[in-house]
Amino acid sequence: MALTGVRTKTVKTYSISQSFGTETRELEYSTVVRYNNNNQILDSTLYVHNIPLKKKYAYVSGPRSGTRLIRTHKRHLLLQFKYEYDLSGQLVSKALYTEEDSLKWKEFYKFDELMRIRKKIRFDPSKAINIEKSHSFKNLNHLTWGEIFSYDSTGSILEHKELYDGFVIEITTYRIDSTGFHNKEQEYFDPSLMFRTTYTYNDSGSLNEEISVERFGRAHESKNYEYDLYGRNIKVNTFQSEGILTETLNRIYHDTKSRITEIQADSSKKLISRTETYLNQYQQPIIEEYFDNKSRLTQRRNISYDATGWLIQIHNYDMLRPGKDDETIPISVITYEYE
């Protein structure tokens, strides 16, 4: 039954092959995305259409033993994302389910008063061990995350718990000095934590830095961002867990040519890759070209839109694999259908 106000977008991915001069297009994947009446994603489901034989056949023992066809469906659910929003329409969580309909992880988002993301946390509920039983957060208007503050008898030790779906994922302990300043003494992470990323912003409101930690709070990487006078991001520096620069991404805007160049280099400024993006009059990407560290054109994406500006098709080309008579043929075609 169709839900009132729900619309659907279907993304189909075709692989292209050529044999004896004949080009064949085969549907491999499709993604069905459902939106609510506020144009927010409800769920996104990925299906695979190229079903392996082990999914179609099974060996049956007994008097009529042998291989039997047991599955005849044309597509197989691979994974599904589900989204949750608060009463103001702000995204608060995303969950990943696999083909067995088992929950693999949940991801939560916290925003500031200007609706800028401040924190993102992902954990595996099946591995969570700290359950907060004294506070039933799930029954309070389906609150997905919450906080508990508690002090010792002297008022000098503050314990801050963060709960996600009733699980205590983070516990931070502070010692409060005579001036009221909070000195962080200890930070605990539940074993279910997969990663946590925090975000800070500059005075102009643009993203300034993001810091990520892994399981048990181990440092993972950090990034900082630089901008030009127009507020456009021109540089991203990536640092490893020890704070050592590993990669740099530079963006160059060619305004008169409607083109953006992205140059990725390692810490020694050695080229890793380069991307050229060409824009149409509406500043939408229409061509993306990818070059390797030897400046060879390895991949090209041609992107097209309909009259209303909606994305309708993407052609992916392997520029190092020529077709018949050196003609470049796409290796895949992605189409978008809307209801």
What is the reported pLDDT for 140? 46
Task: Give the dihedral sign, CA 43/44/50/54.
Answer: negative
Whether the Cβ atoms of residue 199 and residue 116 lie closer than 8 Å to each other: yes
Compute the average pLDDT of residues 264-284: 96
Other C-beta atoms within 10 Å of 15: how many? 16
Compute the average pLDDT of residues 75-80: 88
Does this model's pTM top 0.85? My answer is: no
Return d(Cα 19, Cα 13) in angstroms, integer. Answer: 20
pLDDT in tens, 152-170: 888 888 999 999 988 999 9
Return d(Cα 98, Cα 104) in angstroms, integer. Answer: 7
Compute the average pLDDT of residues 200-221: 94
Does the pLDDT value for residue 94 go beyond 60? yes
Return d(Cα 318, Cα 333) in angstroms, integer. Answer: 12
Does the pLDDT value for residue 107 go beyond 60? yes
pLDDT in tens, 10-38: 999 998 876 666 667 888 999 999 999 88
Compute the average pLDDT of residues 82-98: 91
Does the pLDDT value for residue 188 go beyond 80? yes
CA dist list (Å): 54 to 50, 65, 267, 337: 12, 17, 46, 31
Return d(Cα 192, Cα 215) in angstroms, integer. Answer: 7
Return d(Cα 125, Cα 291) in angstroms, integer. Answer: 41
Return d(Cα 214, Cα 284) in angstroms, integer. Answer: 35
What is the reported pLDDT for 1? 34
Phi, psi of 255 (to 5 degrees): -60, -40
The overall average pLDDT reported for the chain is 87
Other C-beta atoms within 10 Å of 193: how many? 23
pLDDT in tens, 219-235: 999 999 999 999 999 99
Return d(Cα 284, Cα 312) in angstroms, integer. Answer: 13
Does the pLDDT value for residue 322 go beyond 70? no
pLDDT band at 335 (very low <50, low <70, confident <90, very high): very high
Q: Which has the higher per-residue pLDDT, 238 or 181? A: 238
Compute the average pLDDT of residues 176-197: 91
